Structure 1
Amino acid sequence: MGGVDPAALVEAELRTLRVLARYYAFIGKRWTVTAGTRSAFDDARGAIVRALPAELAEAVDEASLTALAEGLTADGRLASGALPVTRPSDPAPAPARAERRAPPADNPYLHKVDDAISDPTIRAAIRGVQPAAVKLGGGSGVNLAPEGLVLTNAHVAKDVGAAYTVLFPDGRTFPGRAVAIDHELDLALVALTGAAGLPVAPVSRRAPRVGDFVAAIGQPGTSTPDGQPTGYQRFHVSTGKIRGFLDDPLGDQSLGRTKHDAWTYWGHSGSPLFDRRGAIVALHNSWDSTTAMRHAVTWQAIVHFLAAHDARYTQR
């Protein structure tokens, strides 16, 4: 009895992916592609990619759908050299040297990643982005650009023009000023002064799913609301999972519309939630006192906000 030809299966998957990519390109030429639409297409692409051999899956997963529309042939083959690693529609990436720079040797908090995460692959990914987590004001944030552009919550940054001192895990501090605020989405950007070559963390290219691993890196308060010391240290690392979503990912985020169960405390507002690859999938901002569930600003809101303010950032 004959078996299934693996090569034929791969070609069939690539033909399906080509149809998906061409439909995405068709939409993009006629209308604005919203974050929700992009997420739906990325989910469909992800299902196809998971059925491909590892090396091919990696190449396909790094390419834009627009590039795939041109780089896949009608008979289910990959045109040689047709898939750029960086998606043409994405914001310009940071210089490679900035993203690959080794964490500074005097980062006294890096061991917290090792303490919290046992899986070696995930641990390496989170170690790579921990240097981009920051403390500012009474909250947390994450740096997106080598020249210093920190993403945090609007209720942390308060108002456009507000000044802050931003602390990195290696002890360096930079003055910063809030340059963009969206109180409905509870998101803000703080631009740093006198910074260059800073460690950055990428934003995920797709929305998280229920059950996905997340790691939060933030700044739990050193005292309780009534003034008692907590003993918590800066740049705390906690892990958990995505537990669900509230409706309307671009709606009001005063109670974040992504639910998760990574441990947080006062001061964690603005903490990035990283997936197992070290990409930002949400930004912690609140908790529901009736359920004790932690909540975070959605990936869709983050991508929408960054695009609205022409922010420079990398994606993974």
Structure 2
Amino acid sequence: MTARKFETRRIGKTALEVTTLGLGCASLAGIFTGVPADQARATVGHALDKGLTYVDTAPQYGLGRSEHLVGDVLRERRAGVVLSTKVGRLLKPVPVAEQDKGAWVDPLPFNQVYDYSYDGIMRSFDDSLQRLGLNAVDIVYVHDIGAGTHGVEGNKPLWKQLETGGYKALRELRDGGVIKAIGLGVNEWEVLMDAFALGDWDVFLLAGRYTLLEQTSLDPFMTTCIKRGASVVVGGPFNSGILVGGATFNYAKAPEAIVAKVQALEAVCREFGVPLPAAALQFPLTHPAVCNVLPGPRSPAELDGILDWWDVKVPDELWTTLAAKGLLAPGTPIPSGMA
């Protein structure tokens, strides 16, 4: 099988290069809907066959399940793949009857314990290497710190852990050459502005806040990334389903105002003969801070569908029409000339 040639972009000021399309491995761990292990492994392998070189996972995904499945594939095919995982959650073995499965259909028998301290970060990193069965990863993200996950008061002691020890651990790992890049992986851009106050970061994985539907992170966050030399990986380019015909936005039933905006976006796309998901997938990369778009297919067939959307030619006039109709935030870079 001949791999296609994707554009690559550099991560921050590092030497890492990633394809502009990546593979997010949360869905493969069975969120809301179960995914057989063989299907999950086949999806990772199919992504590599197709030429994608960036794969992202995390301890949270299936409470260890995703890392195990990703490792099963990458142990045989590590060359040329940029791999990221996350820290901030430790997994504690528990009887199944006492487990908090959350939205995971068939997770491994653990509960998660939040720990963003120096020791917690180091232990989380070592645990991930063991689950992956690998001796290295390239990028480590601090996962889901912020008021959106923990509440305003609940986040304060966790942020203190990161501020007083966790960031130091990440810098030691990166500056010592153990990993190549550090960042945060979150669903809210505001906490990333707080992170800039702690020091320098290479890349942020931001889910759902810079999409065709929502550009709330445009300023000051995206503009600060340009000034500070940090890259952005856009997770959740379909806003958890609403941009691919689903009814879910931010992992919950979409409110009426969101549904109405999606209908308006779709009407413009229809005018130009472009599927809405194709426009949604290609849109984020027109911002100079964005290095990668990270969808989460559940199967090789879903990935093929994403690649079909990726190959759709989007006329420049579609983007200018969206802007003229007020469907993009003021100041949003207008995509042009994308294949």
More strand by share: 1
TM-score (norm 2): 0.26
More helix by share: 2
TM-score (norm 1): 0.27
Looking at CA atoms only, which structure, 1 or 2, has the larger radius of gyration? 1
